[in-house]
Chain A
Amino acid sequence: MSDKIKFTIDDVEIEAEAGQTIMQAADAAGVYIPRLCAKNSLTPHGSCRVCTVKVNGRSQASCTQPVAPGAKVESETEEIKAYRKSLVEMLFVEGNHYCMFCEKSGNCELQAVAYRLGIDAPKHEYLFPARDVDASHPEIFIDRNRCILCGRCVRASKELDKKNVFQFIGRGIHKQVAVNADAKLSDTDLAGVDVAASSCPVGAILRKRVGFAIPVGQRLYDAQPIGSDIEANRTDK
Chain B
Amino acid sequence: MTNKITIEPVTRVEGHGKVTIHLDDNKQVTDAKLHIVEFRGFERFIQGRPFWEVPVTIQRLCGICPVSHHLAAAKAMDLIVGVDKLTPTAEKMRRLMHYGQMYQSHALHFFHLCSPDLLFGFDADVAIRNVVGVAAKYPELAVQGVMMRKYGQEVIKATAGKKIHGTGAIPGGINKNLSIAERDEFLKDIDQQMEWAKGALKIAKDYTVENIELAKEFANFESSHLSLIREDGAMDLYHGNLRAIDKDGNKIFDQVDYQGYHKYIAEEVRDWSYMKFPFIKSIGNENGWYRVGPLSRVNTADFIDTPLAEEARKEFMAVTAGKPNHLSLAYHWARMIELLHSAEKIKDLLNDADLQGEDLVVKGDRREEGVGLIEAPRGTLFHHYKVNEDDQVTMCNLIVSTTSNNEPMNRAVASVAKKYLSGVEITEGLLNHVEVAIRAYDPCLSCATHALGRMPLEVSVMDGSGNVLDRKSTK
Interface residues of A (CB under 8 A from B): 100-101, 103, 133, 135-136, 141, 208-218
Contact = CB atoms under 8 A, between A and B. Distances in A.
Interface in B252-284: none
Among B57, B167, B168, the one with the most A-chain Cβ atoms within 10 Å of its Cβ is B167
A215 B182 CA distance: 15
B50 interface: yes
B60 A211 contact: no
Contacts, number: 56
Contacts of A136: 390
Which secondary structure dominates chain A's binding surface? loop
Given A103-B53, A215-B161, A215-B175, A209 B48 contact: no
Interface string B66-87: 0000000000000001000000
B137 interface: no
A213 B74 CA distance: 13
Contact of A135 (B170, B361, B390): B390
A212 B56 contact: yes
Contacts of A211: 50, 52-53, 56, 170-171
Contacts of B52: 103, 208-212
- Closest A-B pairs by Cβ, 8 of them: A216-B161, A211-B52, A212-B167, A135-B390, A215-B176, A101-B57, A215-B175, A135-B392
A6 to B, nearest CB: 47
Contacts of B176: 215, 218
A96 to B, nearest CB: 11
A158 B6 CA distance: 66
Contacts of B166: 216
Interface residues of B, number: 25
B165 A212 contact: no
B391 interface: yes
Interface of B: 48-50, 52-53, 55-57, 60, 81, 160-162, 165-168, 170-171, 175-176, 361, 390-392
A133 B96 CA distance: 35
Contacts of B170: 211-213
B60 A101 contact: yes
Given A135-B390, A135-B391, A208-B50, A100 B165 contact: yes
Contacts of B171: 209, 211
Nearest to B59: A101
A39 to B, nearest CB: 25
Contact of A100 (B55, B60, B168, B361): B60
Contacts of B53: 101, 103, 211
A12 B146 CA distance: 51
Contacts of A214: 175
A141 B50 CA distance: 8
B167 A216 contact: yes
A133 B48 contact: yes
16 contacts: A100-B60, A101-B60, A133-B49, A133-B392, A135-B390, A209-B81, A209-B171, A212-B167, A213-B170, A215-B168, A216-B160, A216-B162, A216-B166, A216-B167, A217-B161, A218-B176
B56 A103 contact: yes
Nearest to A211: B52
A209 B391 contact: yes
Given A208-B52, A211-B56, A215-B168, 5 more contacts: A100-B60, A101-B60, A101-B165, A211-B170, A211-B171
Contacts of A215: 161, 167-168, 175-176
B55 to A, nearest CB: 8
A97 to B, nearest CB: 14
B244 to A, nearest CB: 34
A102 to B, nearest CB: 8
Contacts of A218: 176
Contacts of B55: 212
A101 B50 contact: no
A215 to B, nearest CB: 4
Contacts of A135: 50, 390-392
Contacts of B161: 215-217
B59 to A, nearest CB: 8
Contacts of B48: 133
A211 B170 CA distance: 8
Contacts of A216: 160-162, 166-167
A75 B184 CA distance: 47
Contact of B175 (A133, A208, A209, A212): A212
Nearest to B60: A101
